[in-house]
Structure 1
Amino acid sequence: MTHFCKFALAALVSLSLGLLARADEPNLKKYSPPADNAKDEPMAKQFSLDKAVGFLDNAALQWTDKRGCFACHTNYAYLYVRPMVGAKVQAHAEVRQSLENMVTDSWVLGKPRWDAEVIATAAALAYNDSLTTKKLHPLTRLALNRMWTVQRKDGGISWLLCKWPPMENDDHYGVTLAALAVGVAPDGYAKTKQAAKGLAGLRGWLAKNPPQNLHHKAMILWVSTSLDGFMTADEQKAVKKELLAQQLPDGGWSASGIYPWPRADRKEQEPDVSDGYGTGFTIFVLRRAGVAADDPALVKGIAWLKGNQRESGRWFARSLYRDNKHYLSHAGSAFAVMAIQACQ
């Protein structure tokens, strides 16, 4: 066989394998819907990043396909985490495209469903841009600019008040998410006149509406890692200390420990039970805030995550609202992977 034939054959085999691998990837037309989130799902025998990513892919695809909308806990969160483990897959491309389509189609043909949709969309696109192209996509800029059209005169944001903490429960989350969107946006967006004016309003609102719980403080801490004027160095140090003090003996954190909330089903919260959201979110924010990956508390926390993954690849997080779908597990699984990757 000539060198040319050998080269051609190798190229053909490589191309065929590439096409086969791509054909086998989950996408909006072909995915495996995850089973319901369940507290009694067995633990995995050993940690698997691949299984975690597979769960995140399929959960985001299912939500995007069946719901036709975006939710903070599932497909919005997916656009934060997926680039940290590889963005060049069909699932990521299609979920991202679906969000872009919402900006170009739904928003043009009619108004966004809520002001919160504008903020959450701008934040997800900006965060995704910062981890992929590192350039501000025109549609991301459009979404960011639209944020300021829904900002109130007092500097705040009218958020979803569904009593579904920590993401759909108070205006505080919307304000910090808007700030985060600006802070991570590439190409110096934070220095534009629109952004500077909007940020001044957000800072003013936060000054008049101080954080009510540790999750609020952690969100501001996260924002302060990319924007000045949201926390002083002493305030950052104090919040980091407070977060570390909430670590449970087994190494994890509890979502209800950092965001206490009276349940709608009148059952007791479990601030002494570690979960995927409390642990993943806290470790990720601490890493963003400069706590070293080899800090004993974070090492213990990562060990908890790797030892408490479920067979499906997810991490369970009990809903802070009521015992039903436990979609906080989706966000918790995203933050768990973000935390693990941030500590590599």
Structure 2
Amino acid sequence: MFRSLSLTAALVAVSSLVLAASKDEPAYNPGPNKADEPAAKSFSLEQAGKFLDHVGSKWTSDRKCGTCHTNVPMMWAKPALKSVSAEEKNVRKFFEERVANWDRGQKGDAPRWDTEVIVTGVTLAIHDAKTTGKLHPMSETALNRMWKLQKPHGAWNWLKCNWPPQEHDDEFGAVFAAVGLSLAPGGYAKSDTAKAGLEKLRNYLTKTPMPSLHHKAWLLWASARLDGLMTAEEQQKTVQALRALQKPDGGWSLPSLGAWEGYDKRENDTKAASDGYGTGLVVFVLREAGVSKDDPALVKAVQWLKTNQRVSGRWWTRSLNTDRAHFIANAGTAYAVMALDACR
């Protein structure tokens, strides 16, 4: 009996020590996106996951909207890390509740822009593809609503905030939608609901020149699963154009993928150093296009990614628009995770 009591007391003491230690452990805070953040001592996908959870959850709770630079790519990248965090669940819940409440008739519930409908449907559909493999009813509802907003020429009225590369032109909205449709589970792209709209989108994308290699890369991504978006020759030319921009250190840079003038009107530096967004996106898209993970260019790029992570878990990317927040680094980190997963 006394031995049993001693063991119980010991277990209680150990538990108390563990709880005390966990309380003393500082909460994870990556701080702002900064170019001079120190490099990580060692590569860590776990740390990248913490970063994505933090920025995705914080943006969602603070801004109450979905954005292509933070909580959207977070939802695409997190499934690659296999464990589902509370933050990922909460962001998923936010997107689903937006759809459920769109027609409730309450102030602030209706979609603020057509872009919101497209972003929500695509985000949920891709998350479905990477998790359950089944199209969730809320995902399908958002995708179906997207067709009601499609313009006769096949694209949508996308946000044009002069924030390249994503909130800048209708062409990006079209390729963004195409990527989502290419990945939507359950054969959604072949459904009667999607058939007419998808044909109009195909027509738009085949007749409208993409204004940047960045957008062509997204179109290449979509064309890996959706027929009729690019010819084999166009796909190969895009692959070659992306390969040609690889830097000697193995990475790519976002500014090199387009000739943009951003929000602050500064000159686009096409010779900028390699960054997380450019490297992550290009590596991932090349893998989607069928380039082997053992290709020397991709092997070198993976090495760049593994040696250029920062202590917070993020990969640095400078904003094309302002030097205030560099939110594009959040997307760059998500694409880096997706690229590394694609090259396992």
Q: Distance in 2 between matches of 1:133 and 1:53?
A: 20
Aligned to 2:12: none
Among 40, 59, 74, the alignment partner of 1:63 is 59
Aligned to 1:307: 307
Give the C-alpha shift of residue 87 in structure 1. Answer: 4.6
Aligned to 2:331: 331
Give the C-alpha shift of residue 269 in structure 1. Answer: 2.9
Q: Distance in 2 between matches of 1:253 and 1:215?
A: 11
Q: Residue 283 in 1 paired to residue 255 in 2?
A: no
Aligned to 1:88: 84
Aligned to 2:154: 155
Q: Distance in 2 between matches of 1:321 and 1:71?
A: 16
Q: Distance in 2 between matches of 1:247 and 1:154?
A: 35
Q: AA paired with 1:303?
A: Q
Aligned to 1:232: 231
Question: What per-residue deviation string (whole Å, max 9, x for no partner) do you get for residues 188-236 of structure 1?
Answer: 1111122111111111222332111101111110010110000111111
Q: TM-score, normalised to structure 1's length?
A: 0.89
Aligned to 1:292: 292
Q: TM-score, normalised to structure 2's length?
A: 0.89
Aligned to 2:9: none
Q: Distance in 2 between matches of 1:31 and 1:194?
A: 46
Among 8, 32, 38, the alignment partner of 1:36 is 32
Aligned residue for 1:52, secondary structure, equals helix
Aligned to 1:6: none
Give the C-alpha shift of residue 276 in structure 1. Answer: 0.5
Aligned residue for 2:69, secondary structure, equals helix
Aligned residue for 2:281, secondary structure, equals helix
Structure 1: unaligned runs, 5 residues or longer: 1-15, 25-29
Q: AA paired with 1:232?
A: T
Aligned to 2:11: none
Q: Residue 203 in 1 paired to residue 195 in 2?
A: no
Could you say if the C-alpha distance between residues 228 and 44 of structure 1 is closer, same or farther in structure 2, counting changes exceeding 3 Å? same
Q: Distance in 1 between matches of 2:103 and 2:256?
A: 38
Q: Percent identity?
A: 48
**1:136-151 aligned within 5 A:** 136-151=135-150
Q: Distance in 2 between matches of 1:83 and 1:107?
A: 30
Q: Distance in 1 between matches of 2:29 and 2:259?
A: 31
Aligned to 2:7: none
Q: Residue 53 in 1 paired to residue 49 in 2?
A: yes
Q: Distance in 2 between matches of 1:128 and 1:263?
A: 30
Aligned to 2:5: none
Aligned to 2:68: 72
Aligned residue for 1:253, secondary structure, equals coil
Q: Distance in 2 between matches of 1:245 and 1:251?
A: 11
Q: Distance in 2 between matches of 1:178 and 1:267?
A: 29
Conservation of the 8 A alpha-carbon contact between 2:121 and 2:143: yes
Q: AA paired with 1:331?
A: A
Question: What per-residue deviation string (whole Å, max 9, x for no partner) do you get for residues 215-266 of structure 1?
Answer: 1111110010110000111111111011011101111101010122124434
Please report the RMSD computed on the Cα atoms of aligned residues, expressed in angstroms.
2.1
Conservation of the 8 A alpha-carbon contact between 2:164 and 2:262: no
Equivalent residue pairs, number: 322
Aligned to 1:3: none
Question: What per-residue deviation string (whole Å, max 9, x for no partner) do you get for residues 17-37 of structure 1?
Answer: xxx9xx99xxxxx97443111
Question: What per-residue deviation string (whole Å, max 9, x for no partner) do you get for residues 81-120 of structure 1?
Answer: 1111125221211110111011112453342011011111
Among 98, 101, 125, the alignment partner of 1:102 is 98
Q: Distance in 2 between matches of 1:153 and 1:71?
A: 26
Q: Distance in 1 between matches of 2:191 and 2:204?
A: 20
Aligned to 2:117: 118
Aligned to 1:258: 257
Q: AA paired with 1:173?
A: F
Q: Distance in 2 between matches of 1:111 and 1:102?
A: 8
Conservation of the 8 A alpha-carbon contact between 2:265 and 2:321: no
Conservation of the 8 A alpha-carbon contact between 1:254 and 1:270: no
Q: Distance in 1 between matches of 2:70 and 2:29?
A: 13
Q: AA paired with 2:72?
A: Y
Q: Distance in 1 between matches of 2:62 and 2:93?
A: 16
Give the C-alpha shift of residue 270 in structure 1. Answer: 2.9
Q: Residue 181 in 1 paired to residue 189 in 2?
A: no
Aligned residue for 2:104, secondary structure, equals helix
Give the C-alpha shift of residue 163 in structure 1. Answer: 1.0
Aligned to 2:171: 172
Conservation of the 8 A alpha-carbon contact between 1:129 and 1:136: yes
Conservation of the 8 A alpha-carbon contact between 1:277 and 1:331: yes
Question: What per-residue deviation string (whole Å, max 9, x for no partner) do you get for residues 119-166 of structure 1?
Answer: 111111110101111011111110110010110011111101011111
Q: Distance in 1 between matches of 2:262 and 2:165?
A: 12
Deviates more, 1:286-295 or 1:33-42: 33-42
Q: AA paired with 1:53?
A: G
Q: Residue 223 in 1 paired to residue 222 in 2?
A: yes
